[in-house]
Homo-oligomer: A and B are copies of this chain.
Amino acid sequence: MPDQPGSLSLSDVAREAGVSLTTASRALNDSYGVSAATREKVLAIARRLDYVVSPDAVRLAGGRTRRVALVVPHIERWFFGEMVNGIETVLASANFDLLLYQVGGPEDRQDFFTRLPARRKVDAVVVVAFPVDQRERERLALMGVGIVAAGGQSADYPYVCIDDYHAGRLAVDHLLESGHRRIAMIAAHDPDQPGWPARSGRSEAYVDALTAAGIAVDHCLVRDVDWGGLNAAEAMADILDATPESAPTAVFAHSDELALGAIRTLRRRGLRIPEDVSVVGIDDHPLAALTDLTTVHQSVREQGEIAARLVLDALAPIPDGDAPTAVTAPTTLVVRGSTGPAPDHARSLAASSDDPHPELAGSRPAVPAHPQER
């Protein structure tokens, strides 16, 4: 069976150009050992005939595949999509193809690492935001290709990620500086991703920041939920229920999506944001801007681009010794309308133990805090 209907081969081009297969090949690649004249002739013919090499043949004959595998948990989630976006952009412009492997649930995962479907198919693999354990690392090694981690730290591979601790501090310190003392935290772990370390960096930041401010962490204010806004909403309700007399005046969510969930619950309880409680997330999800959410910005797309460059470096014929092997992307606090100063009475609370927000039920709506709105 021919390579593909309608495709012609290099030998066709060679014949047409009146040169040998060898020369044609060289004209198309090497460009050494071929005179400029013949090279031009071959190229012209190739173009005229609309010739396209067969990547499989190239590969078989000893070349690289020019393919890289992308292993990503949930392509439909903004974070991963954005990451893939960045990776695709630079890899595509370097003429690499992307093989997408979605490895979500535990079965997927099991299957992926045992079958190793990308084996013999790619020059490198980038693992997006997801921790690989020892056993999985060994399987991956079997592929015999370079590996880079994007969106997560890794001791074993070159990686790009943010400093989760720093991001957490930015968020929590912002709350602290606004006078908040009772700060809740909603952390999340992906149920499919046991032991994702990123979260713990953010949690650590929370603990440290409070401690540094002389505040004891109250475990009634902390929840760790499965990923998802709805779960965060529940967690928020939980926290509120657990602290009827000492509700938090602020909440630090590990991600914007969680923050949005928390906000829903707060609103439904008649609490105003930010007058009654401030909320801060992490990510700067596009919807954060839309919902006026204060957050910690990270450029996921750029991280993707960097990851791709890490791949390219690793694949370079003469590995660049100076090429970075680990880069941490910057994060910055973006203050929007969901955070504000702590309610006055909350500062001098601790004595009165009745409903801290007796006036809320009938309170007036938030004054539009955005005079700049067009």
With A55-B121, A88-B102, A97-B99 as given contacts, are A264 and B291 in contact (CB-CB < 8 Å)? yes
Q: Tell whether, in the assembled complex, residue A270 and residue B368 are in contact, meaning their CB atoms are under 8 Å apart.
A: yes
- Mark A90-119 against chain B: 1 for CB-CB distance below 8 A, else 0: 001001011111100000000000001111
Most buried by B among A62, A268, A362: A268
Q: Could you tell me the distance in whole angstroms from the C-beta of A239 to the nearest C-beta in chain B?
A: 12
Which chain A residues in 35-82 approach chain B with CB under 8 Å? 50, 52-57, 59-60, 62-63, 65, 67, 70, 74-78, 80-82
Q: How far is the CB of A212 from chain B (nearest CB, A)?
A: 33
Residue from the list B3, B98, B100 in contact with A60, Cβ < 8 A: B3
- Is B78 a contact of A85 with CB atoms below 8 Å? no
**Bound form: Cα–Cα A262–B166 in Å:** 34
Number of chain A residues close to chain B: CB under 8 A? 79
A86, B54: Cα distance in complex, Å: 29
Report whether A365 and B230 are in contact in the complex, using a CB–CB cutoff of 8 Å: no
Binary contact track A320-350/B, C-beta < 8 Å → 1, others 0: 0000000000000000000000000000000
B234/A261 in contact, CB under 8 A: no
Decide if A85 touches B75 in the complex (CB within 8 Å): yes
Are A75 and B57 neighbours in the complex by a CB distance under 8 Å? no
Contacts of A234 in B (CB 8 A): 374
Q: Is A34 an interface residue (CB 8 A)?
A: no
Pair B70/A290 contact, Cβ less than 8 Å: no
A317 at the interface (CB under 8 A from B): no
Contact (Cβ within 8 A) A57 B55: no
- Which residues of B lie under 8 Å from residue A82 when comparing CB positions? 76
Are B6 and A120 within 8 A (Cβ)?
no
Assembled-state Cα–Cα distance A55/B60 (Å) = 10
Instruction: Select one of B50, B78, B84, B292 contacting A78, CB under 8 A.
Output: B78
Q: List B contacts of A237 (CB < 8 A).
A: 373-374
Q: How far is the CB of A365 from chain B (nearest CB, A)?
A: 4
Instruction: Give the one of A82, A120, A289 with max B CB within 10 A.
Output: A120
Which B residues are in CB contact (< 8 Å) with A135? none
**CB nearest neighbor in B for A86:** B76
Say whether B81 contacts A76, CB under 8 Å.
yes
Q: Is A89 an interface residue (CB 8 A)?
A: yes
Complex alpha-carbon distance, A340 and B178, angstroms? 37
Write out the residue numbers on chain B whose beta carbons fall within 8 Å of the beta carbon of A286: 229
Question: How far does the Cβ of A116 sit from chain B's closest Cβ, in whole Å?
Answer: 7
Report if A287 contacts B (CB, 8 A): yes
The answer, yes or no, to whether A137 is at the interface (CB within 8 Å) is no
Q: Does A221 belong to the interface (CB within 8 Å)? A: no
Does A219 touch B at the CB level, under 8 Å? no
- Residues of chain B contacted by A257 (CB below 8 angstroms): 287, 290
Ordered by A's residue number, 18 sampled pairs between the chains whose C-beta atoms are within 8 Å are A1-B62, A1-B63, A56-B59, A75-B75, A76-B81, A76-B301, A84-B100, A88-B102, A92-B101, A97-B99, A97-B118, A98-B100, A230-B289, A257-B290, A264-B291, A268-B368, A272-B365, A364-B365
